[in-house]
Structure 1
Amino acid sequence: MILTLSCPDRHGIVAAVSGFLMQRDANISDAQQFGDAVSGTFFMRVVFEPADGDAIEAVRQAFAPLAERFEMDWTLRGPEPRRVMILTSKFDHCLADLLYRWRIDELPMTVTAIVSNHPRDLIGHVDLGDLPFHHLPLRDSGDAAAKAAQEAELLRLIEATGTELVVLARYMQVLSDDLAGRLAGRCINIHHSFLPGFKGARPYHQAHARGVKVIGATAHYVTADLDEGPIIEQDVERISHRDTPQDLIRRGRDIERRVLARAVRRHLEDRVLLHGAKTVVFED
């Protein structure tokens, strides 16, 4: 089981949590904590093996009074893989990488569906196997009624499949404020620049025009503000004046897929705790 929590920082939190688990004869296999001196907030992630026969609901009920005493925002999750839906457009490199890592058991998830605003034969050469594929077209993103209808169908699909995490793997559509709000904290996007620089469309061309010496990619939670959500993972690579926009796009593909994969894995392993506009990420 994995316990994550955040609460006002004070003496005795670690002792209380470890003491609770000891009383239930649980074995702690990993524990990490962080106290943010600026906000006075404490964060903790504990992985433990419960005693034989100690069900997760019983642990939750028993832990609730302690969580209330320390004013904790907390979750307790079992070993079941998260249910994940992947959205994509025509670019397939991030989708292909996620599916490869899933197939070799690097990403502990159950893929509920692949969704695209393009037909299946237009999203590259990735092998989807027998995964459910849904084509939800949006021919004119400026048509408010059409966009609302498409997102309503997407939300229905998310709910019908019990999807817990939505991954935008180069899904080249901006989610509405309403849908972004409904998916708060459970929708990860990969943006092909080192945010907060070069937001919006064609960031590699923006970077080339500015003559930057590094390019990067950013995985973040989706919010109503475009490319402003809490950042989970970033990476960069050095470039030079010799690189064209096409060179930047080519080199950027490698950055994008590894950054997105790391962000998704850390979310699946409950290593990411939201902290306002930021995140606390416990490394593995």
Structure 2
Amino acid sequence: MHILMTGGTGLIGRRLCVALTAKGHTITVLSRRPQQVKQLCGENVRPMASLDEYYPDSRFDAVINLAGEPIVDARWTARRKQQLRQSRIELTEVLLQKVHQAKVRPQIFLSGSAIGVYGDGGDALLNEQSPAGGDFGAQLCVDWEAAAMRAASLGARTCILRTGLVLDGTGGMLHKMRLPFSLGLGARIGNGRQWMSWVHIEDYVAMTLFLLEHESAAGCFNMVAPEAVTNREFTQSLGKALHRPALFVAPAPMLKIAMGEMSTLLIGGQHVVPAKIQSLGYAFRFPSLLPALTDLLHPSS
């Protein structure tokens, strides 16, 4: 297949490009840094600098839409919230305008979202049928998903990827946490009872390929491992994987002061299960946290 990918230079996108290329697919990556696409995504990946280059004669068999400004990189000011919406919702709307205008439309449309759609779920067990939350992060996901689901009306089999905490030893949150935890400075957040729904990067990539190829897959999918943990359990497991104690606590009130509204991403949580993709037969390579952390942090062991 010829696949158009947005967000292809990000942590997940780069891994997907490698996996898709290995399976013989042709990849075009939309990027504001087209000159870096081949370096980051692979020599055979084609760069696209703007959606203006998606012409009516362009032919893509599938679209993987992962673009979006990082949600935790800056405080949620009014300006930042608008940037987050533009990079997700407005880009998706423009992308689908191009799909609509294409003489030959893609038959598959996979689009990103996040388990933040459920808001702070407390201890409730959340599957794909659970209701959305009411905070900014949840509404951002709701609107993003609504924009992406319009692809179905254009004839594309559409899957929404509700992404949890993606663990990768070379980047992302786990990479940032490695140094302080290695120094014995690891800390749980608040009381540590909030749920963390995570997924190993290899499972995330494999699930995406599974949905791309599974002809009956459509709708929303929780992209998380089946065994969520509390923040306390995550902290203990990461300390154990690095052979270091994790005895400190990051007080919730201090996080609220430092991060403002965005602190809900750390103080709250979601206990999410991947019910729908498991019902289709996907088998996880890393269903449990400690083996996943050990694989990522000590890949040669």
TM-score bracket for the superposition, by shorter chain length? 0.3 to 0.5
Bigger strand fraction: 1
Q: Which has the larger radius of gyration?
A: 1
TM-score normalised by structure 1 residue count: 0.39
Bigger helix fraction: 2
TM-score normalised by structure 2 residue count: 0.37
